[in-house]
Amino acid sequence: MALALLAGCSNGAGAPPVSSGAQSTSVGHQVSASTSVLRPGVRELHSNLPAAAFVSSEINAKGGASVIVSDASDNVVDIFNAAGKQTAQLTGFSQPQGLALDTAGNLYVADTGNRRIQVYAAGYNGTPTTINDPGESPVSVAIDSKGNLGVANILTTSDGPGTVSFFNNGGTLLATLSNPNFAKVFFDAFDAKGNLYIDGTNASGAFVAGEVVGGVSGKAISMLTTGNSVGFPGGIAISSKHKIAIDDQENLTIFAYDAPLKGSLGMPIATTPLTGAGDPISFAFTQTSKGIWVADAARGLSNASTSSAPGVPPPKVLVSSADRYRYPKGGESSKDILFQHGAQPDGIVLTRDAQP
């Protein structure tokens, strides 16, 4: 595994606590608690970035993709250049989660706690435009080829079942759809034809998937089955070969499927193991779809500084990270960006993300 790169963490306040009796609006899978410490030999750096949103000229200076990661715990969105150096930070959120980029490079942030989508023009150094999503808790956002938005709302603000909201490219709400089989809606993605795919959980907490045929012109959420078992819903993305890829947070795997046939995605055509991952919440394809970057809220790393019996490997500790894997082969990550204590990477996009 490549030497990890460490990201500075904001000193912003943590995400607002969930009120007593309310359901969680986090899209992360619950993993066992552990003290979060850094990998031995990696210095703990503190960010000295100003609170105001800005972008450095270093972004894409080497022609590589920039990695953009939302941190739902520290209420920031961090931007890294191709070398893994943090070059900018966006602030002013309450539990930012899903991220998306349109073909013009504009950045969309699902600002869950503030019930809105924040839109930053390419460059990300100006005041964002706000698309309000009243009464909903938006956790993921997708953009079709015409600039229309599909927003996955995990729950309503009154703890009602999750929904999907559609907005046109001017930010006007077009429709809000629900399906009784979805208790929570987690992630979404448009394919090249404008169909929207979603995943989430049912009332029993089991994985479910669905499709809105026609996307913004669709009238209903149709349920989809899979030929394999998926443990817990993670991010959805469409590869450059128009395959539908779904992240299984529980089984640390990404499954790729052909377009659905008669309501079924069938068996996976590719299975990508994320070796060493802890809670891979979402992911983004590189431009060629030969690699992916994964937002991991609880990566397990060996703590070599902890003594153990001879022949017994040191215990694992949990560290938040963004990690690059080969696709579809998977295996160990080839590059890691580690976050400081308490960070929760949820959403991730690349400035050269693969477009359907």
Region of poorest pLDDT, from 114-118, 209-213, 340-344 = 340-344
Higher pLDDT, 66 or 216: 216
Superfamily in which the 5-16+32-350 domain is placed by CATH:
TolB, C-terminal domain (2.120.10.30)
CB neighbours of residue 225 within 10 Å: 12
153 Cβ contact list (under 8 Å, min separation 6): 133, 136, 137, 138, 139, 162, 163, 164, 165, 176, 185
Of the ranges 22-26, 34-38, 41-45, 191-195, the best mean pLDDT one: 191-195
User: DSSP letters along 277-302, please?
Assistant: -S-EEEEEE-TTSSEEEEEEEEEEEE
pLDDT tens for each residue of 151-187:
999 999 999 999 999 999 999 999 999 999 999 999 9
Strands of the sheet with 253-257, listed across from one edge: 233-238, 244-248, 253-257, 270-273
Share of the chain above pLDDT 90, in %: 68
Asked whether residue 127 carries a pLDDT value surpassing 60, the answer given is yes
The model carries a pTM of: 0.85
Residue 339, pLDDT score: 87
Sorted by where each begins, the domain ranges of the chain are 5-16+32-350
Apex CA 119: angle with CA 213 and CA 240, to 5°?
A: 45
- Least confident range from 61-75, 99-113, 165-179, 325-339: namely 61-75
Comparing 204-213, 230-239, 334-343, the range with the smallest average pLDDT is 334-343
pLDDT interval class at 18 (50, 70, 90): very low
Of all residues in the chain, what percent carry a pLDDT higher than 70? 78
Q: What is the pLDDT of residue 301?
A: 64
Q: Do 208 and 162 contact (CB within 8 A), yes or no?
A: no
- Please say if the pLDDT value at position 43 is more than 80: no
Sign of CA dihedral 305, 251, 240, 326: positive
Beta strands in 113-231 (DSSP E): 116-120, 129-132, 136-143, 149-156, 163-167, 173-177, 184-190, 196-201, 207-212, 222-224
Inter-residue contact 117 to 95 (CB < 8 Å): no
Tell whether the model's pLDDT for residue 38 goes beyond 70.
no
What tokens were used for 109?
Answer: 């942030």
CA pair distance 240, 198, nearest whole angstrom: 18
d(CA 254, CA 246): 6
